[in-house]
Structure formats: C-alpha cells, structure tokens
C-alpha cells in the first residue's frame, strides 16, 4: 500500500510443545512473539536488474517453485513454472502440453520412489488499447501429492523427467502435524502486503531466519498493478497515471520477479495465499484476478469451496478459514453459504482453535482505509462470532494494529 508496501511486520506465533494447548473457549493465552529488527531498509522496488529476480534457469527447467497445503496434512501441492513469459503487442501463449507436470518424492533425497502428476496452464494479461503491451506467462504447473504422513519431512523433485534438463534440484518440506487438539505447528508466519521492495527483503530474511512451519500471506502480493505495461512504476498509480491511461495497467513480469525472489522460502515452507485489492488486475473483457488464480495452488476442491478466493484447511489443532474480501460475500452468495457449511463441520474437540484470514480489516482507525470492508463485516461477523472465532489476521492497513476483542 503506497510507499510502505513490503514493510508490514510479520508475526511469528510459537506454540509451546510442552504445555497443554489452550483455546479461547477456556480462556485467552498470550502468544510468544519474536521481535522484529529495527532496520527496515528502503521502500524502493527491486529493479529487474537485481540478480535475485532474474531468470536463473534455462530451457524447460522449473523455476518459481512453491509448496502449498491441502485441506488435511496428508496432502500438499507443489507448483512451478517452466519456460519464460512473453511481452509485446502480439503474444502467442505457450502450449501447456509441451512439458509434463511430474513430482517425484520420498523420505530421503536419494530415494524419490513415489510419483504424482498434475495439470498445467498458461494465462495472459491482455489490453485492447493501442500502445499497451500484452503478456503471456510461462507454463504453470500444479501437482497434488497425496497419502503423506503428517509431521514428516518429504524430499521432492519437480519437472518433466522425460526431457533432459527439465527437472529441478531436490527440495524438501515438512507436512503439518496430525489433526488433533494436542498437535500444533511450531511457528506460523503471518505477513501481508509483501510486494517486492527492499523492505520485502528484510521482512523475508527475518521470516526465514525464524524457520516458520507455515506462512500465511494475506493479499497484495507482487504489486504488479503499480506499473505501466512498459515497466514504468510508481508508489501511487492513481496519482501518477490514472488520468493518462485508458485502463489500470499492470506489468506482469513483476509476478515472475516475485516468484523467483521468493523461491528459497516457498520451495521449502508451505505458503497459503488469499487475494488482496492489488490482485484484481482488470484486463480485456473485464477479466480480473488472472495472475492470482493461475499462479497459486489452493485447497479449493478439497475444502469444497471450488474457489481460489476462499477455502479452509487444518494444521494440527487449528482450523484455518481464508475468506475473500473482493468476491461476493452477501448472505445470499456462494461464499457465505460455503462458510456456513464449513463452520458447521468444525469439531472444536479436534481443532480447538478457529483462525481466519482475509485482506481488508473490519476494524481500523487508519483513515485511508477506514470502514472499507464494512459491508463484509455486516454480512459475516455475526456468523463467525456465533461459532467462536478465535483470531483474525488481515493486511491492507500497513501499520501494526492489534485490537482487543471486537463485536458490535
């Protein structure tokens, strides 16, 4: 959000394994918070000349590798991109069938004895206006690994083993603890409005140094929509460009830069993402959220939402619900009906903690975004309150704003 993107402090929650896990059904307990270092760097975007955002692979070798959770700890998603993006007035999408979507995995780096296959796609960002550049992505792969053991480290290699040079190095991630009231992730990193600035680098370095088991990213990911299609960026699009452009442009390569920079984290630590306002990215035919919907894997089918904008998953004794602040949330809509069903299935004797995340906060005194999500609050707050929601994490307001118990 403006010049502060990438600087929203992250919160690392440490669960004490020796102590009996508490629930707010019994009474509040204080989390352990890791202090953030004082030096936050400069709120300046990483340029495309920075080696950390440049393409470091050749041919069909995978890049931008990421792990995401499924609805239960016995399953996880692996995603990556092969081939490079294209920019220009006329772009021709790559054929997703050119290269396979295969993950080989196992319990040791030299024993990848299991194999899973998945799906591939490309997306385009197109503008029907003279002088604007269009974009089409590399081939994006999503593969779901199933039959995993909870709380277990798995090694994996992704790509297409039938093509020379088209597989990745071996990476590893750990599945979430088994679902149950005495089993919890050790640390969960919560971050929002990350962007790709020098503030981003200090935030990510701090996060990685604390070795979280899971990352929640609460929207506003790459800020590609603060750029024109020619790569010219600004801290405030409406201030700089709104009167001179026929549509709110984006520079989609910023997504690829972000995926490359984040790979060292996302390839080893599961990251769950929900959309923010900077992911809307309108294009031809009023299509929106193309990059967000294509680039990330979501447990949409597994949690019965069938939507990339809202879904749920379990991690030990926590049931997480990720909600959409930028999709229909009225009581007659699909998201609300899904939320009712999801909440009704939660067994608090199995998952004592009920935690939700979305982008825009319902309660904030920050005047730039004051009551922006009031309609969502009016629609959903009573339902969440009736099921005893314990914690809400949001982004959007790029200031630290912890709140007391709220319900009006």
Domain ranges of the chain: 2-393
How many alpha carbons lie under 13 Å from residue 383 in its C-beta half-sphere? 19
Which residues carry out catalysis?
369
Dihedral sign (CA 187, 39, 368, 230):
negative
| 255, 237 Cβ separation under 8 angstroms | no
Dihedral sign (CA 142, 148, 149, 153):
negative
Predicted local confidence at residue 396, as pLDDT: 87
Predicted local confidence at residue 34, as pLDDT: 47
Question: Measuring CA to CA, how many Å separate 280 from each of 125, 259, 382?
Answer: 12, 18, 27
Positions of E strands within 16-75: 32-33, 63-69
Angle at 357 between CA 356 and CA 361, to 5 degrees: 115
Q: Rounded distance, CA 341 to CA 298, Å?
A: 18
| 272, 314 Cβ separation under 8 angstroms | no
Q: Rounded distance, CA 220 to CA 8, Å?
A: 11
User: Mean pLDDT per 10-residue run, the chain (408 residues)?
Assistant: 41 42 52 49 84 98 98 98 96 97 98 98 96 97 98 98 98 98 96 95 96 97 96 91 90 98 98 98 96 98 98 98 96 97 98 97 82 92 96 85 58
Tokens of 27: 């009474």
Note the CATH architecture for domain 2-393. 4-Layer Sandwich (3.60)
Q: Rounded distance, CA 100 to CA 122, Å?
A: 13
Tell if the pTM clears 0.75, that is, is over it.
yes
Predicted local confidence at residue 372, as pLDDT: 86
């Amino acid at each position: 959000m403006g010049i502060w993107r990438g600087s929203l402090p992250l919160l690392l929650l440490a669960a004490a394994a020796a102590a009996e896990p508490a629930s707010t059904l019994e009474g509040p307990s204080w989390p352990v918070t890791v202090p953030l270092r004082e030096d936050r760097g400069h709120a300046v975007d990483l340029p495309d000349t920075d080696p950390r955002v440049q393409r470091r692979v050749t041919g069909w070798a995978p890049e931008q590798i990421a792990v995401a959770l499924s609805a239960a700890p016995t399953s996880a998603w692996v995603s990556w991109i092969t081939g490079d993006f294209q920019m220009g007035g006329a772009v021709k999408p790559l054929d997703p069938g050119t290269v396979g979507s295969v993950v080989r995995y196992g319990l040791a780096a030299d024993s990848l004895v299991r194999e899973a296959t998945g799906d591939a796609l490309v997306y385009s960002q197109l503008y029907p206006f003279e002088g604007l550049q269009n974009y089409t992505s590399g081939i994006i792969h999503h593969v779901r690994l199933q039959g995993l053991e909870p709380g277990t480290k798995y090694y994996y290699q992704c790509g297409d083993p039938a093509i020379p040079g088209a597989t990745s190095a071996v990476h590893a991630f750990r599945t979430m603890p088994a679902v149950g009231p005495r089993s919890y992730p050790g640390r969960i990193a919560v971050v929002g409005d990350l962007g790709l600035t020098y503030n981003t680098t200090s935030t990510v370095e701090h996060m990685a140094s604390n070795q979280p088991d899971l990352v929640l990213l609460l929207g506003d990911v790459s800020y590609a929509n603060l750029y024109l299609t020619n790569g010219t960026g600004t801290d405030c699009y409406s201030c700089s460009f709104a009167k001179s452009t026929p549509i709110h442009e984006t520079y989609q390569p910023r997504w690829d830069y972000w995926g490359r920079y984040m790979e060292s984290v996302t390839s080893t630590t599961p990251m769950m993402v929900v959309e923010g306002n900077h992911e809307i990215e309108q294009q031809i035919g009023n299509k929106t959220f193309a990059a967000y919907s294509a680039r990330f894997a979501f447990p949409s089918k597994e949690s019965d939402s069938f939507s990339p904008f809202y879904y749920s998953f379990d991690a030990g004794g926590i049931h997480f619900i990720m909600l959409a602040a930028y999709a229909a949330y009225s009581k007659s809509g699909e998201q609300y009906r899904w939320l009712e069903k999801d909440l009704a299935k939660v067994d608090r004797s199995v998952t004592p903690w009920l935690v939700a995340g979305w982008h825009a906060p319902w309660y904030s005194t920050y005047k730039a975004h004051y009551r922006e999500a009031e309609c969502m609050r009016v629609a959903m707050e009573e339902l969440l309150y009736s099921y005893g929601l314990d914690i809400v994490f949001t982004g959007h307001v790029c200031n630290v704003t912890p709140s007391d118990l709220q319900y009006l």
